[in-house]
């Protein structure tokens, strides 16, 4: 007799959390989420309801142990260049320092990406005085490759403002490409040795179909929307991301961290709530998907909760699609 599947539970329930970036540091699982504010103000397509003001760090010794909330590790008030909206962060480790990368709006209302540092993966994190020069948009995700090069992937449509950077400068009235034109890709920049600046201009990543053609902007089942994550499996680079309007987590694969990436399929079918955002991490000999939904608030889009489940690869390297409610 088969047992009934256990519904995936929120990692914590004492605060609303979202956008989990999970890493194994010092033998433990550390999760760097957004901290959703508990408010009842209206929502819009610009994401004004996502008013987050601080970050907490969560950790687990292993998947059988309790979750530790290390408390507030960075607050908006301590970031000189930021005015509001601490959206999805990521963390990285290099040369004895832990780095927290995070997006926020600057004092002109433009999303930028900043860095804060700590000697501990649990923080607290001390922000740099200014955002990374040349940075824009949202959702930074850092890959420190096996050769110790560090890449930051970023970008998000709509409230994330990626459409407004197509010329290389901020065009407040710009809209996205036509439906039959190549979709906007996430950006990638090589980080400097001290991880505090970009080496060169960010490049746009191309996501192509199995015939080598670019995924077009009207292909909302497959085109990039926000929330990039890059991990390596069997020597290949897996770029996964949210499709936004179709609410899926999907992935594409390349043998080069700069792409092009070939679209492969769906990792997670839609969750309760509008946004879907994730990370993928190996702990011991298993792989895990961290993601969020809005089940803790019974569907309020800006009151989300982080969850996780195991992720499985097929023998050919493709990822088995996960149903979040089975």
3-state secondary structure of 193: coil
Please, which residue, 53 or 209, has the CB nearer to ligand FUB?
A: 53
Please, which residues have CB within 8 angstroms of residue 314's CB and are 6 or more apart in sequence? 320
Compute the distance between CA of residue 311 and CA of residue 321 in angstroms, rounded to an integer: 9
Compute the distance between CA of residue 152 and CA of residue 142 in angstroms, rounded to an integer: 4
Closest distance between ligand FUB and the C-beta of residue 139, in Å? 5
Closest distance between ligand FUB and the C-beta of residue 21, in Å? 11
Identify which of 50, 10, 6, 8 has the alpha carbon closest to the alpha carbon of residue 31.
10
Please, which residue, 206 or 242, has the CB nearer to ligand FUB?
A: 242
Please, which residue, 106 or 226, has the CB nearer to ligand FUB?
A: 226
Which residues here bind ligand FUB, judged by CB under 6 A? 18-19, 34, 50, 87-88, 138-139, 156, 226-227, 275, 277
Closest distance between ligand FUB and the C-beta of residue 224, in Å? 12
Active site residues: 19, 226
**Burial group, residue 282, by CB count within 10 angstroms (0-12, 13-18, 19+):** middle
Please, which residue, 219 or 226, has the CB nearer to ligand FUB?
A: 226
Identify which of 176, 295, 160 has the alpha carbon closest to the alpha carbon of residue 241.
160
The three-point CA angle 165-168-171 to 5° equals: 45
Identify which of 130, 127, 128, 125 has the alpha carbon closest to the alpha carbon of residue 98.
125
Residue 125 and residue 73 in contact, taking contact as beta carbons nearer than 8 Å: yes
Please, which residue, 110 or 209, has the CB nearer to ligand FUB?
A: 110
Closest distance between ligand FUB and the C-beta of residue 275, in Å? 4
Closest distance between ligand FUB and the C-beta of residue 136, in Å? 14
């Amino acid at each position: 007799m088969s047992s009934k599947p256990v519904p995936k539970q929120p990692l914590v329930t004492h605060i609303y959390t979202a956008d989990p970036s999970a890493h194994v540091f010092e033998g433990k699982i550390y999760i760097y989420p957004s901290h959703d504010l508990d408010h009842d103000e209206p929502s819009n397509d610009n994401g004004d309801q996502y008013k987050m003001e601080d970050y907490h760090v969560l950790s687990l010794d292993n998947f059988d142990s309790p979750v530790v909330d290390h408390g507030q590790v960075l607050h908006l008030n301590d970031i000189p260049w930021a005015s509001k909206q601490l959206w999805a962060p990521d963390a990285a480790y290099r040369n004895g320092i832990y780095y927290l990368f995070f997006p926020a709006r600057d004092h002109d209302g433009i999303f930028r990406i900043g860095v804060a540092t700590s000697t501990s993966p649990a923080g607290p994190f001390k922000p740099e005085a200014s955002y990374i020069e040349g940075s824009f948009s949202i959702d930074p995700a850092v890959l420190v490759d096996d050769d110790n090069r560090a890449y930051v992937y970023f970008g998000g449509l709509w409230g994330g403002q990626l459409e407004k950077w197509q010329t290389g400068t901020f065009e407040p009235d710009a809209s996205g490409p036509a439906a039959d034109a190549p979709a906007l890709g996430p950006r990638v920049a090589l980080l400097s040795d001290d991880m505090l600046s970009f080496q060169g201009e960010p490049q746009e990543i191309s996501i192509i179909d199995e015939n080598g053609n670019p995924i077009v902007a009207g292909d909302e089942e497959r085109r990039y929307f926000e929330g990039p994550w890059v991990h390596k499996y069997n020597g290949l680079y897996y770029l996964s991301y949210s499709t936004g309007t179709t609410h899926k987590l999907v992935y594409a694969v390349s043998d080069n961290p700069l792409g092009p990436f070939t679209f492969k399929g769906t990792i997670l079918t839609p969750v309760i709530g509008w946004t879907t955002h994730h990370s993928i991490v190996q702990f011991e000999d298993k792989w895990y998907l961290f993601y969020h939904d809005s089940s803790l608030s019974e569907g309020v889009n800006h009151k989300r909760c982080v969850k996780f489940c195991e992720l499985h690869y097929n023998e050919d390297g493709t990822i088995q699609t996960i149903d979040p409610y089975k």
